[in-house]
Amino acid sequence: MNITEILPGIHYVGVNDRTTTRFEGLWSLPQGVSYNAYLVADEKVALIDTVEEGFGSRLTENIREAIGDRKIDYLVINHMEPDHSSSVRALRMLYPDIRIVGNAKTLQMLQGFYGIDTGTLEVKEGDSISLGSKTLSFYMAPMVHWPETMVTWCAEAGTLFSGDAFGTFGAIDGGITDSQVDPSRYWDEMRRYYACIVGKYGVPVQKALAKVRGLNPTTICSTHGPVWQREIPQVMDVYDRLSRYAGEPGVVIAYGSMYGNTEQMAERIARELAAEGVGPIFVHNMSYADESIVLRDVFRYDTLIVGGPTYNGGLYPPVARLLDLIAARCVPQRNFGWVSGILRLLLLGECRRTLPGRIRTEDEVGGDLRTRGNEAGFLAGMARGMPRARSADRRVHAPLNQPKTWT
């Protein structure tokens, strides 16, 4: 069995990266990451996406293993981020007649990034390319998570090449599809990937999901993580919940502490919540915690409690950093509480804008649990029953044009 042939004529030619420690220089990669590219080989051959240029030689080896000395007719660029496009120039040198396929914004970026402005083919919503018995069609998915993003659909194989959508952190161990690897290890990595990379763009993701559901794919080939087949219903459910910011019942307690006082409050709150039957509970010390894991938990669960001391007249920096990350992702529907005097001054206005759930004031929540013994029980009740606020219904419009077909 050729494990890299996902379906007849559709080959995996991507690579694993187990050496990079920070994705985008920011997010930890304890289990590595994959850069996925795919070949569709028919009467004509199309390569869909490439890999980070440091792994370009492995990509070309994988291509030659799949199709030998055959030429590649088309290179489809779903997403221009360099971990998927930086091998384009090298491929153009190896396959000088290759035609690069992308939408108008992609081709603008292609010229700006790599100086390539010839041998290209611009496609619009619904356009298609015939490879022989297989056809590739293109659908725009702007801001999932870059403005030029699109997806590629092969109807004959029921296969969606989804770009970064439905991707995960984590290298692919051995197999390629979700039936060849243990999918359970990827669910939290999918949530972490979404929270860090895609999290701000819930509304565009919802629009993209509506298009994907209309196609009803039986195989989803993302640019990171395993190829999805058996687990597509759960994949769709995870992305749907995350992009609607629909938190599951659970509490995230994130704190910073210089001399242990805020830490004692965080521990006391966690104990009181557990005593009240609230859970699951996740406690993170922001001086040591992995930010990407905390963001993952904030996206997954419906209640966030934050604590931090005053530092240089402001909020303790690791806690302030977390709140900046959450605000940047516009997470709208969370129960929110805090234990800190400076948090009231700094966050009351800001959190009403970025976390517009029922905000409790310092008079209701804050202070020192050593002198005000009922705050933890109060927060437990808040975690069980705080009303939600809905985010604004913002819409992203992608222009639709008459489809074309090229042969």
Residues 344-403 pLDDT 10s: 544 444 444 444 343 333 333 333 333 233 444 444 444 444 333 222 222 222 232 344
Give helix then strand counts, H and E, for the chain.
12, 23
Pick the CATH number of 248-385 from 3.90.1150.10, 3.40.630.30, 3.40.50.360, 3.40.50.300: 3.40.50.360
Coil, helix or strand at residue 5: strand
Strands (E), 15-134: 15-17, 22-23, 27-28, 33-35, 38-41, 45-48, 74-76, 99-102, 120-122, 128-130
Which residues, in sequence order, are CB contacts of 334 under 8 Å at separation 6+? Answer: 245, 247, 298, 302, 303, 304, 355, 357
SS3 call for 385: helix
What is the C-alpha separation between 79 and 36, in angstroms, rounded? 12
How many Å is the maximal CA-CA distance in the chain? Answer: 77
Tokens 């992702």 correspond to what residue? Answer: 329
* Sites in the chain below the pLDDT cut of 70: 1-2, 340-407
What is the model's pLDDT at position 310?
Answer: 86
**What is the reported pLDDT for 314?**
83
CATH number given to 5-244: 3.60.15.10
Q: Provide the pLDDT for residue 313.
A: 82
Q: What is the pLDDT of residue 337?
A: 85
Domain boundaries of the chain, sorted by first residue: 5-244, 248-385
pLDDT digits (tens, 9 = 90+) for 294-312: 999 999 999 999 999 888 8
Evaluate whether 45 touches 39 at the Cβ level (below 8 Å).
yes
Please, what is the angle between helix 291-300 and helix 317-328, to 10°?
Answer: 50
Helix runs in 255-397, H state only: 261-275, 291-300, 317-328, 341-354, 375-385
Q: How far apart are CA 64 and CA 58, in angstroms?
A: 10
pLDDT of residue 341: 52
**DSSP characters over 305-333:** EEE--EETTEE-HHHHHHHHHHHHTT---
124 and 116 in contact (C-beta within 8 Å)?
no
Question: Rounded to an integer, what distance in angstroms lies between the CA atom of residue 339 and that of residue 233?
Answer: 40
Looking at residue 294, what is its pLDDT? 98
State the chain's mean pLDDT as an integer: 85
Predicted pLDDT of residue 332: 82
**Measured distance CA(320)–CA(314) in Å, rounded:** 9
pTM of the prediction?
A: 0.84
Sheet holding 335-339, edge to edge: 281-285, 248-255, 301-307, 335-339
Q: Residue holding tokens 């950093």?
A: 321
- Tell me the C-alpha distance between 30 and 251, whole Å: 25
Q: Strand 159-163's sheet: what is its strand order?
A: 219-222, 159-163, 150-154, 135-140, 128-130, 405-406
